[in-house]
Amino acid sequence: MATKKPSARAAAAEPAILSFTPDQDLAAYREMLLIRRFEEKAGQMYGMGLIGGFCHLYIGQEAVVVGMQMAMKEGDQVITGYRDHGHMLSTGMDAKGVMAELTGRRGGLSKGKGGSMHMFSIEKQFFGGHGIVGAQVSLGTGLGFANRYRENGAVSVTYFGDGAANQGQVYESFNMAELWKLPVVYVIENNKYAMGTAVTRASAQTDFSKRGASFNIPGEQVDGMDVRAVKAAGARALAFAREGNGPYILEMQTYRYRGHSMSDPAKYRSKEEVQKMRTEHDPIEQVRVRLLEAHKVGEDQLKAIDAEIREIVNAAADFASHEPEPDPAELYTDVLR
């Protein structure tokens, strides 16, 4: 197939911002707020000892998954690492099932056997939820391989972080994806820190959109705090991959407000830095201001959305707290099929 392949530079120069209709902004606001409130509740429940082990919150990065989801089509797959709650909620997976998995209860999406980092939904084409940094990149490339094998027109949206971007298998996967023209959009969520290590201390090339350059994979940097920019870039990348041109890289420049996990005090960055992102770039606040000022949506309408979201999240927390633990007989099930 003849391909028009934008260079990384040319792609980045395209106009990134397309305006949203009031309905699109309302939908984005609602979806992002659901993730924000869900994660805040998860943090609270972790503090109460209801959630064990590791718990990586997505607060601050909401625009990335919500914008990508708005650009995706039915049948496109999603796969990511362990900071996965937002990805699951954005694909439409049930908040109760996600929260009950966090608490390790039988109503959890993995029956309580996977936990925060390991959940799946064939129905929503969500393939995890992976705890090994970078493993999902090869797996997501495999999802793209299956799409091409079946010629089903679907694209694998494979998320990973700036930390995972330094793993060797990422480049093994890039090579095969381009070689075989697999329909994969690699979304690198650059939240500036790989656990406690700043990007500049871990990466020789900090422009992650160029990480596919030696494989001829086009890429672009995207303002990952602006849901409109994410959706526009996602649409370009998905169309490129869907048309048989091979993979595409989107570097989402984003920020996580909380520590790497619940037990990370985040001493490696200043409070001012976090505060600046929160006040000047918050993905939800941007939409909220736009809704109120540009779209003339009433406070009442936003309050109603807030209340609706709180209701969903509280119901999920309630379910996740009261659902029983797995039956002991489940210990030996699902080892083999």
Partner 1 sequence: MAIEILMPALSPTMEKGNLTKWVKKEGDAVKSGDVLAEIETDKATMEVEAVDEGILGRILVPEGTQDVAVNTPIATIVAEGEDAGAAPAPAAKAAESAPPAAPSPAAAAAPAVPSTPAPSAVASPPVVSAPPDPEVPAGTEMVTMTVREALRDAMAEEMRRDGDVFVMGEEVAEYQGAYKITQGLLQEFGARRVIDTPITEHGFAGVGVGAAMAGLKPIVEFMTFNFAMQAIDQIINSAAKTLYMSGGQVHCSIVFRGPNGAAARVAAQHSQDYSAWYSQIPGLKVIAPYTAADAKGLLKAAIRDHNPVIFLENEILYGHSFEVPKLDDFVLPIGKARIARPGKDVTLVSFSIGMTYALKAAEELAKQGIEAEVIDLRTLRPMDVPAIVESVKKTGRCVTVEEGWPQSGIGAEIAAQLMDKAFDYLDAPVLRVTGKDVPMPYAANLEKLALPSVAEVIAAVHAVTYR
What's the DSSP call for residue 52? -
CB of 18 to partner 1, least distance (A): 29
- The span of 17-25, 101-109, 199-207, 283-291 binding partner 1 (CB under 8 A) equals 101-109
Contact flag: residue 216 with partner 1 (CB under 8 A): no
The SS3 assignment for 312 reads helix
Where in 12-51 is the site for partner 1 (CB under 8 A)?
40-41, 43-51
Contact flag: residue 153 with partner 1 (CB under 8 A): no
What is the biggest distance separating any 2 CA atoms in the chain, rounded to whole angstroms? Answer: 57
Q: Of residues 27, 94, 145, 244, which one binds partner 1 by CB under 8 A? A: 145
Neighbours of 19 (CB within 10 A): 10
Q: How far apart are the first and last CA of the chain?
A: 40
214 class by beta-carbon count within 10 Å (0-12 exposed, 13-18 middle, 19+ buried):
exposed
Residues near partner 1 (CB under 8 A), total: 86
Contact flag: residue 138 with partner 1 (CB under 8 A): yes
Q: Of residues 86, 140, 246, 283, which one binds partner 1 by CB under 8 A? A: 140
Contact flag: residue 86 with partner 1 (CB under 8 A): no
The SS3 assignment for 8 reads helix
181 class by beta-carbon count within 10 Å (0-12 exposed, 13-18 middle, 19+ buried):
middle
CB of 75 to partner 1, least distance (A): 11
| H/E element, 238 | helix 227-240
Q: β-pairing, 219-223 with 248-253? A: parallel
Q: Of residues 61, 90, 91, 103, which one binds partner 1 by CB under 8 A? A: 103
What's the DSSP call for residue 121? B
CB of 22 to partner 1, least distance (A): 25
- Could you tell me the two tokens for 211? 């990480």
Contact flag: residue 269 with partner 1 (CB under 8 A): no
Q: Of residues 88, 176, 233, 302, which one binds partner 1 by CB under 8 A? A: 176
Q: Of residues 7, 149, 153, 289, which one binds partner 1 by CB under 8 A? A: 149
* Cβ–Cβ under 8 Å, residues 254 and 60: yes
Q: Of residues 143, 185, 238, 241, which one binds partner 1 by CB under 8 A? A: 143
Distance separating alpha carbons of residues 121 and 189, to the nearest angstrom? 22
CB of 234 to partner 1, least distance (A): 21
CB nearer partner 1, residue 140 or residue 234: 140
CB nearer partner 1, residue 97 or residue 218: 97
* Cβ–Cβ under 8 Å, residues 61 and 86: yes
Where in 228-267 is the site for partner 1 (CB under 8 A)?
257, 262-265, 267
CB nearer partner 1, residue 232 or residue 287: 287
Distance separating alpha carbons of residues 84 and 93, to the nearest angstrom? 12
Contact flag: residue 61 with partner 1 (CB under 8 A): no
Q: Of residues 13, 18, 52, 294, which one binds partner 1 by CB under 8 A? A: 52
Contact flag: residue 147 with partner 1 (CB under 8 A): yes
37 alpha-carbon distance from chain centroid: 16
CB nearer partner 1, residue 273 or residue 327: 327
Which of these, 229, 117, 247, 124, lies nearest to 182 by C-alpha position? 247
57 alpha-carbon distance from chain centroid: 11
- Could you tell me the two tokens for 209? 């959109």
Where in 107-136 is the site for partner 1 (CB under 8 A)?
108-114, 118-122, 127-132, 135
Contact flag: residue 335 with partner 1 (CB under 8 A): yes
Contact flag: residue 278 with partner 1 (CB under 8 A): yes
